[in-house]
Amino acid sequence: MKSSIAVVVLAAGAGTRMKSSLPKVLHPLANRPMIQHVLDNAAALKPTRIVGVIAPGAKDVAAAFAPYPTVVQKKPLGTGHAAKAALGALRGHTGPVLVVFGDAPLVTAASLQRLVTTCAKERAAVGVLGFVAHDPSPYGRLIVQRGILEKIVESKDADEIEKTVDFCNSGVMCLDGRLIAGLLGGIKNNNVKREFYLTDAVALARAAGHKAIAVEGDEAEFQGINSRAELAVAERALQQRLRAAAMVAGVTMIDPDTVWLSADTRFAADVTIGPSVRFGPGVEIAAEVEIKAFCDIEGVRIGRGASIGPFARIRPGSDVAENVHIGNFVELKATRMGRGAKANHLAYLGDADIGAASNIGAGTIAVNYDGFGKWRTVVADDVFVGSNSSLVAPVHIGKGANVTAGSVVTEDVPAGALAFGRARQVTKKGRAAPLRAKLKARAAAAKRGKKK
């Protein structure tokens, strides 16, 4: 069932410190735009509505919010002004309103729910997620007296006593939907930056006799992202979180710090992952799979008991069935490997269907591109393809066929057939030495010509 919560996501910041044409909230973390992490965490609370606040002309950001609606903050006049822009979209909502930031993607759904639950229990008009900061200097301070949050003081406006406080504001706020319009309407811009601070809602609520509280969380969750360096810090933190969750679920990582996951990577239990492995988007791994070192895997389902790598690359659109072996320096692109199929060494299989129990020899290439179009290679079950073969698509190799080593296959091979697709070997006895002498003389002449 849906809750009575509404969520406002502030995403109108210009992000100038990112030095990028891409809007800040669309920069990726774990191969997903950071705003998507925020929306996923908000959606986990099952709110009645989610509203995004964006800058004028930010069509790409609006598209990233879909299917949730967005409103425009016409001028960048501060967080209070941005939250006020969402009031029209909140019309009729009387439950809690969570205000979160689009550039703070590490805040968990559990922390958001804890804030809402505590506010309800304490009957607080305003609640704030706070944290004890290792270095509080950049943050607004939470001024708490006898368990009541009296006010939030921005760092630039803090006096000397307030600057000694290390309990800091995360930016995440919960407001009573019945009071939010009045609180936001009362915010003034009488501060150093001449902006309307959302944080002033706390002092306004207290002045009106309402209760305000602060709920402590972990500083690691509240990293905002304003620069490429901070993006890298957040990526590292998110990767640690994803790795830890995978290992708790039964995945073995030989060297966890070198494994890079996507937000949507899915593992069954008893998967083993070697060092220096990257998982791009869209990967699903079944049980008892081993991914050996230095593999790059994206957009694939890998079946139970498969063995991948080392130094294998699997590109999007592929499907690897149970007990398949993909060995060193093998690349798949949009290729389906049937149950028990093997490609153990130095092969490129692009736009191919490899049947069950078929063996693809070292150096084999599925020649899928003719300069204009991509074509499929179909290898049926129980086929043996010898080393250093080129399968020129479109081509079909029938069940149980053998393709001899070094073949260039340009025509379909019937089931059970033996295919030779190479030039006949010619041997000329005693001709090696004269050929070498000729080649040596030619190289020497070319060298003399260069000196002139």
Residues catalogued as catalytic: 345
Is-contact 92 83, C-beta < 8 A? no
Q: Tell me: cis bond preceding 310? Omega within 30 of 0 counts.
A: yes
Overall size of the chain counted in residues: 452
Question: CA dist 114 to 122, 147, 202, Å?
Answer: 12, 17, 19
Dihedral of CA atoms 192, 193, 198, 201 in degrees, nearest 10, equals 20
Q: If you count DSSP H runs as helices and E runs as strands, how many of each does the chain have, helices first?
A: 8, 35
Distance CA 70, CA 72 (A): 7
Look-up: residue for tokens 């479109």? 394
Query: Contact, 210 vs 95, CB < 8 A?
Result: no
All residues at 6 or more sequence positions from 7 whose CB lies less than 8 Å from its CB, including other chains: 42, 45, 47, 49, 50, 51, 97, 98, 99, 100
Give the distance from CA 449 to its chain's centroid: 57
Element of type H or E holding 15: none
